[in-house]
């Protein structure tokens, strides 16, 4: 039988507790993920909370219960508070069709437009790149490596700063 000192038993307890924490944390994330379905998927996770959005020319931030925008460059689109809220709601609840185009083909092209979305509980923003390939619009979710296919009207709604 193996005899351990009091200090060694403390180390065993600490290591086993750390392993349990990592196990339960990973199990929690595994149980909460929904299976990937083909077809229509939500652009952002269902229970996500948008803190800020950024386009190269404009940054939109949550201030309490309202929104404010800050121009980073000259832009023709100047949204009022209601338009900003509608834009954020659209991003929050948008359902798009998963494209059959592989991520590798999209990555070869250069993105026409980029949007970054900061979500509560996430350290890094979710980055979305819009591509126009063969007269069809594709939105690449860089974080989850998903490609969405969308119509020109949907692209214009999600990226109102740009002409389509």
1-30 per-position pLDDT tens digit:
678 899 999 999 999 999 999 888 877 666
Q: Which residue has the higher pLDDT, 52 or 47?
A: 52
Residue 34 has a pLDDT of 53
pLDDT in tens, 121-160: 999 999 999 999 888 999 999 998 999 999 999 999 999 8
Give me the pLDDT at residue 8, please.
92
Burial grade of 117 (CB within 10 A; 0-12, 13-18, 19 or more): buried
Residue 144 phi/psi, 5° resolution? -100, 0
Model pTM score:
0.72
Stated as kind and residue range, the H or E segment containing 156 is: helix 152-158
Domain borders along the chain are 1-33, 40-158
């Amino acid at each position: 039988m193996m005899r351990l000192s009091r200090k060694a038993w403390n180390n065993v307890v600490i290591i086993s507790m750390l392993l349990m924490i990592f196990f339960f944390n990973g199990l929690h994330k595994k149980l909460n993920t929904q299976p990937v379905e083909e077809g229509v998927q939500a652009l952002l996770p269902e229970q996500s909370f948008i803190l800020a959005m950024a386009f190269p020319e404009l940054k939109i931030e949550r201030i309490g219960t309202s929104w404010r925008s800050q121009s980073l460059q000259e832009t023709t689109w100047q949204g009022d508070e209601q338009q900003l809220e509608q834009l954020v709601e659209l991003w929050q609840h948008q359902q798009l069709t998963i494209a059959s185009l592989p991520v590798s083909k999209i990555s070869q092209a250069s993105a026409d437009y980029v949007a970054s979305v900061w979500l509560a509980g996430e350290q890094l923003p979710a980055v979305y790149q819009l591509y126009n390939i063969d007269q069809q619009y594709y939105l690449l979710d860089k974080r989850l490596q998903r490609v969405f296919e969308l119509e020109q009207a949907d692209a214009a709604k999600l990226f109102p700063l740009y002409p389509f």
